[in-house]
A and B are shown apart, each in its own frame.
Chain A
Amino acid sequence: MNQARKFRISHFVIWSILAFFIIVYGVPLLWLLLAGTRTESSLISDTPLSFGSFATMKETFLNLIRYNSGQVMTWALNSVIYTVGSVTLTLLACIPAGYALAMAEFRGRKLILILTLVAMITPSQAIILPIFLEMTFLGLTNTYTGLILASSFFPFGVYLAYIYYTTSLPKSVIESARVDGCGQLQCFIHMGLPMAKPLLALVAFFSFVNNWNNYFLAFILISDDSKQNLPVGLTTLISASGALNAQEAASNLPVGQPEAIQAAILVVLPIILVFLVSQKHVRSGLNAGAEKG
């Protein structure tokens, strides 16, 4: 009896805390999605979480599409190109690297591992300038290749792969396979790759989020606005139209706050969708690597 009541109280406390945070985390996004359906004046005068109308939403969307004759769609397409390119390259680089670091003994392994971890923990903002100068030298600024290459360096992916293989592929298994005449490369192809499915999802997901949101690197490396990605395009749009800043209001563009909000939704939505779809794999990938973490 007593214990049951205690249990119920603790249950209640736990759920109030969880629910409070559901509101804190959920409301901003809910607001953003709803705001995309409202007019500029409705944003100010109606209650914060009210719904506008689909007609308004459509009109806003059309305004957004028409901006600079469809530039938003160009940016979205670019974002897709950059993201697909970088995620693919990231996977190609990270999975074998993580496998090699986890499974093989060779000279330089420790150094590479340490460098990877340092690179993972040290954010790239500080070295973005020299990267720019380097890419200029190579003639890769303002090219798809340049940005894809630069954003494919993803040490966190190697870290994840390394953890994954050290925890879920016992070295003894590899040793015995090797005794059976399986070379290092064959081992990777026949044992490392087939079991890498959750790992692929995990690395792909994190790399996707990173690349889709890429702002600084894209801003620096791409100056041609027809090659720009969505996050940078979004700031250009907002800044050029004065949507959030009336000082730059000397503009007759039909791009205001609702358009800015929908542009933001355009940036946010794909990530949410990908997360919801890949959530299961991401978690199983994390679980597998959790012991060491």
Chain B
Amino acid sequence: MTQHSASQRQQRKRQQARKQALVAYALLSPFLCLMLMFAIFPVLYAFGLSFFDTIDYVFWGLTNYREVLNDYRLVPAIYNVLQYVLVWVSMMVVGVTMLSLLLDTQSERTAAIVRSIYFMPGAIASSAVVVLWLFLLDPLVSPFDFVYQFFGWENRQSTISGLGEVWIFALMGFLGNSGGWIVVLGGALSGIPRDVLEAARIDGANPWQMATRIKLPMISKTITLMAITTIAVGLQIFVEPQLLSLAGGQFDKPDWSVTQLAYFYAFRWGDFGIAAAISILSLILPVIIALTLIFATRFYKIK
């Protein structure tokens, strides 16, 4: 009798669990469909394509990969991208953290206004960024002309050569993305429990100590997330160098970044196989970074 009811209970529990899983899948299904269509399938498809000659559809093993690795533009492109990521990520980590901590010392209302201003350039993206920057970099037109004069850059060409693409794209990226992250970090900072800050203040901590010893450790996770996302996005830089050509042939950089090389093979030469091989190769690093992050922080655990 007791045994019977126990097994019945267990069965009911299992049934319930099954029902719960079913409902969960139902809630997830729209997203899962999209993920299947626009993430999983494309990656598998690209993986498959990368082993084929996509003109005559002949399997040719690693030929596409060999072509890519022998391309003389690959190493300089990797070097460009790595330099850019390094500069951009450093700017983001230092700049965003500093500004967020400084804003946190202000009243909520002031901080909100300043944050809005910081966010503004984030509204300018893709093609509009390039339009804006082509003017910003031209000493004759730019509101930052005094800076260029200081360095002795007299025209757009010398400004671009003087600053170098790495710094230009990093500045573009910083101006466009840091505002959003300042808002995010602002959120994280205001999430720090009041009593912790109060206790520190009573212990006689000055603003500097408060910022570096209390606040910084508590938002370090968000900063890490920002750094990781920035690295991943930075590795795939494409639109900025690609659209520089809008300003004229002399600014055209069709082989500056790795993603551009994939684009070049696919859309200039019509070779989707080699392009797929580049895509697969350039996915490896971000995926490793992502997985490391996920397993290091045990992100999937429900607290």
A interface, CB within 8 angstroms of B: 6, 10, 14, 17-18, 21-22, 24-32, 35, 43-44, 48-49, 89, 92-94, 96-97, 99-102, 104-107, 109-110, 112-127, 129-131, 133-134, 149-150, 152-153, 155, 158, 166, 171, 183-185, 188, 209, 213-216, 231-232, 234-235, 238-239, 244-247, 257, 260-261, 263-264, 267-269, 271-272, 275-276, 279, 282-283, 286-287, 289-293
Contact residues in B for A282 (Cβ distance below 8 Å): 183
Interface size class of B (residues with CB under 8 A): 35 or more
* Nearest-Cβ distance from residue B113 to partner chain A, whole angstroms: 10
CB nearest neighbor in B for A126 = B279
In Å, the complex CA distance between A222 and B299 comes to: 37
26 pairs, CB–CB < 8 Å, chain A vs chain B: A14-B102, A22-B117, A25-B175, A26-B120, A27-B143, A32-B132, A48-B141, A96-B27, A104-B20, A104-B24, A106-B24, A106-B25, A112-B32, A115-B35, A118-B290, A129-B272, A133-B272, A216-B238, A231-B127, A234-B127, A238-B246, A244-B246, A244-B248, A267-B128, A290-B188, A290-B190
Top 6 closest A-B pairs, CB basis?
A286-B187, A290-B191, A215-B126, A106-B21, A271-B123, A213-B125
Interface centre among B119, B179, B189, B246 (most CB of A within 10 A): B246
CB nearest neighbor in A for B144 = A27
Known: A93-B34, A130-B43. A283 touches B186 (CB 8 A): yes
* Nearest-Cβ distance from residue B20 to partner chain A, whole angstroms: 5
In Å, the complex CA distance between A291 and B303 comes to: 12
CB nearest neighbor in B for A121 = B290
- A101-B28, A213-B128 known, 12 other contacts, Cβ within 8 Å: A14-B102, A14-B106, A18-B99, A97-B31, A104-B24, A105-B20, A122-B286, A131-B42, A153-B39, A244-B247, A247-B248, A247-B249
Partner of A116, one of B35, B42, B188, B238: B35
Known: A121-B229, A126-B236. A279 touches B144 (CB 8 A): no
Q: Does B62 contact A (CB under 8 A)?
A: no
Partner of A121, one of B23, B207, B243, B293: B293
In Å, the complex CA distance between A127 and B30 comes to: 21
Q: Does B89 contact A (CB under 8 A)?
A: no
Contact residues in B for A14 (Cβ distance below 8 Å): 102, 105-106
In Å, the complex CA distance between A15 and B134 comes to: 30
* Nearest-Cβ distance from residue A113 to partner chain B, whole angstroms: 5
Q: Is the CB of A245 within 8 A of B248?
A: yes
Q: Is the CB of B23 within 8 A of A104?
A: yes
Q: Is the CB of A115 within 8 A of B40?
A: yes
Q: Does B150 contact A (CB under 8 A)?
A: no
In Å, the complex CA distance between A244 and B137 comes to: 13
Contact residues in B for A267 (Cβ distance below 8 Å): 124-125, 127-128
CB nearest neighbor in B for A118 = B290
Q: Does B168 contact A (CB under 8 A)?
A: no
* Nearest-Cβ distance from residue B114 to partner chain A, whole angstroms: 6
Q: Is the CB of B37 within 8 A of A10?
A: no
* Nearest-Cβ distance from residue B47 to partner chain A, whole angstroms: 9
In Å, the complex CA distance between A94 and B34 comes to: 10
* Nearest-Cβ distance from residue B252 to partner chain A, whole angstroms: 10
In Å, the complex CA distance between A260 and B243 comes to: 14
Q: Is the CB of B120 within 8 A of A25?
A: yes
Contact residues in A for B233 (Cβ distance below 8 Å): 123
Q: Does B221 contact A (CB under 8 A)?
A: yes
Known: A48-B141, A94-B31. A293 touches B131 (CB 8 A): no
Contact residues in B for A30 (Cβ distance below 8 Å): 143
